[in-house]
Amino acid sequence: MKKFYIIANWKMSLNFKESIDLFNEIKQGLPEKNQAEIVICPSYIPLSEINKNNDADGKIKLGGQDVFWEETGAYTGEISCEMLKDAGCEYVIIGHSDRRKYFKETDETAHYKVKTALKSSLTPILCVGENFQERQENRKDYVIISQITKALSGIDFSGSEKIIVAYEPVWVIGSGRAIKPEEAEYMHQIIKQTLIDIFPIEIVEKCFKIIYGGSVNAEVVKDFLIRPNIWGVLVGSDSLNSKKFLDIIKEVNTIE
Ligand code: PGA
């Protein structure tokens, strides 16, 4: 049976109390057994407190929404991998389209961050995705191949690492309308093929999981996850409501 990933990205949407409350609601409503690894990425400030409350027998993992590539030093405002780990994180989102859009992050910065995360034993969740114009101009395959190649070429593997690649068409994020699951499956095949061009196939099979993000909700999640190359979802808006998020988890539990 496939083990999926359901990853919640809370972005900068909740204050401290709202974050703790939402986490507790999700924890209390979580089914006993789940077909997915559940990862929640709150903002930095409530992370430690959430970690203290996280007694759900390891059923919920925590992740950061970003990280800096240096390990320590004079980098005002930045957060290191060690700090994320101290706060209970096992995962970290890297190169999300918000970061690329508002903070001018590039495939090159994503590359450094993925490298540092792996070195610190954090699992990177590398986000890639084309914008609307690139899709209109039929450049989406090229854009994704280029993003993956630049971010991941030259990364060394011992074989025990895990990298999650999240395919998120930028124009769909937050729109309330996901792309068609078969379109996502096609893009996931492109991503897998690109990974096979960069790394030995055994490493790709063992270390990589490709997930979809962009307006995922409980109604559509199953249609995505029944495709052979879609291993999970990255959820923004519908992770901010405990019922909607738990409904996604429960829906995934019905996949045979
Ligand atoms: P969305 O966000 O689910 O609101 O589209 C997804 C994301 O930004 O990762």
At 162-211, the pLDDT tens digits run 999 999 999 999 999 999 999 999 999 999 999 999 999 999 999 999 99
Residue 121 is classified by DSSP as T
- CA–centroid distance, 81 to ligand 1, in Å, is 23
The Cα 118–Cα 114 span in angstroms is 6
Distance 18 CA to ligand 1 centre (A): 19
- What pLDDT score was predicted for residue 56? 64
The best mutation among 211, 215, 244 to test binding of ligand 1, ranked by most ligand atoms within 8 Å of the C-beta, falls on 215
CA angle 93/147/192 to nearest 5° reads 85
Nearest-angstrom CA–CA distance, 213 and 250: 18
Statement: residue 157 has pLDDT above 90: no
> How sure is the predictor about 160, in pLDDT bands with cuts at 50, 70 and 90?
confident
List Cα–Cα distances, 240 to 28, 118, 196, 212, in angstroms.
Answer: 15, 28, 35, 18
Cα separation values, 219 from 2, 139, 206, 241, Å: 20, 29, 30, 15
Indicate if the pLDDT at residue 108 is higher than 90. yes
The mean pLDDT of 148-173, rounded to a whole number, is: 94
Q: What is the pLDDT of residues 114-139, one digit of tens each?
A: 999 999 999 999 999 999 999 999 99
CA of 71 to the centre of ligand 1 (A): 29
Tell me if 214 CB under 6 Å of ligand 1.
yes
pLDDT cut 70: percent of the chain above it: 100
pLDDT value of residue 141: 97
Residue 2's pLDDT is what? 87
Considering the entire predicted model, what is its pTM? 0.97
The protein residue whose alpha carbon is closest to atom 2 in ligand 1 is 236
The 10 Å CB-count burial string (b at 16+, else e) for 64-73 is: bbbbbbeeee
Instruction: Determine which residue's CA is closest to atom 8 belonging to ligand 1.
Output: 236
| 54 has a pLDDT exceeding 70 | yes
Given 105, 134, 161, 168, which residue is catalytic? 168
Contact of 88 with 82, CB cutoff 8 Å: no
Residue 133 main-chain phi, psi, to 5 deg = -60, -45
Are the C-beta atoms of 43 and 12 separated by less than 8 Å? yes
Show the tokens assigned to 144.
């994704």
d(CA 113, CA 45): 21
Ligand 1 site, residue 129, Cβ cutoff 6 A? no
Is position 96 annotated as part of the catalytic site?
A: yes
Distance between CA 180 and CA 18 in Å, rounded? 33
Mean pLDDT of the chain: 96
Atom of ligand 1 nearest to the CA of 238: 3
